[in-house]
């Protein structure tokens, strides 16, 4: 009798769990989320739905807003300004544009590639125009690009810039250092709230050690080897 009762309880619990899963299909049920990787826990389609209705899952927001401690490497060189995948390193007029694509599951706090002084913080796109046309591939791919460009003067590497780029769907960008302030290598620069692209502008002469297709971590991964030769 005891065995039968236990079996009935187990079957009842399984029925409840399957019912919870079925009512939320194709998205995971709450009880299942904790056992899944972030990509499976919060599928892209579901996140895009939250972007439209503004009703984000609290667990996803907590995960998205994480800000782990980062330690720059002891080797000389620029560090990546963002977590993500390097998708391009095109050169124009002596400037290399290292493009880092972020997913919904990447950490979204950006960091300074080097120590220096913040010269300007330049927002653009307030009226749904990027101000530069669509000749840059990283702007062509955006719908109504909105960006903030942080220009940094450094002793070792010359003038750098970090662009935080988002779109009309998620156009909130936070920048924390003020113009004229001194910043350290790996220091937090800001955050793109659900944005997806960060671009590091650097002199073409810098010896790049990161490659297209490589995943990088903000403030930790070297993208150049040393200063200008």
- Cα gap 209→38, rounded to integer Å: 29
Q: Which two tokens stand for residue 152?
A: 């940094």
Is 196 an annotated catalytic residue?
A: yes
Question: b/e for 153-169, b at 16 or more Cβ within 10 A?
Answer: ebeebbebbbbbbbbee
Candidate list 137, 167, 181, 196, residue with the active-site label: 196
The contacts of residue 202 (CB under 8 Å, 6+ apart) are 78, 95, 96, 98, 113, 157, 158, 160, 224
- Cα gap 201→3, rounded to integer Å: 69
Full strand arrangement of the beta sheet holding 188-193: 109-111, 188-193, 172-175
The residues that are catalytic are 196
């Amino acid at each position: 009798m005891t065995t039968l009762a236990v079996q009935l309880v187990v079957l009842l619990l399984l029925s409840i769990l399957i019912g919870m899963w079925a009512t939320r299909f194709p998205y995971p049920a709450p009880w299942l989320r904790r056992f899944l990787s972030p990509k499976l826990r919060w599928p892209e389609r579901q996140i895009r739905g939250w972007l439209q209705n503004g009703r984000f899952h609290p667990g996803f927001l907590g995960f998205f807003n994480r800000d782990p401690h980062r330690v720059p490497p002891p080797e000389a060189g620029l560090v990546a300004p963002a977590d993500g995948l390097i998708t391009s390193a095109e050169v124009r007029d002596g400037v290399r544009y290292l493009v880092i694509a972020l997913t919904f599951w990447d950490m979204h706090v950006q960091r300074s590639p080097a120590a220096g002084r913040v010269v300007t913080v330049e927002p653009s796109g307030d009226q749904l125009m990027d101000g530069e046309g669509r000749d840059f591939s990283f702007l062509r791919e955006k719908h109504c690009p909105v960006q903030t460009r942080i220009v940094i003067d450094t002793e070792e590497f010359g003038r750098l810039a970090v662009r935080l780029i988002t779109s009309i769907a998620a156009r909130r960008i936070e920048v924390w250092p003020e113009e004229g302030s001194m910043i350290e290598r790996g220091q937090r620069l800001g955050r793109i709230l659900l944005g997806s692209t960060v671009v590091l502008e650097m002199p073409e002469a810098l010896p790049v050690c990161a490659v297209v297709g490589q995943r990088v971590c903000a403030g930790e991964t070297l993208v150049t080897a040393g200063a200008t030769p």
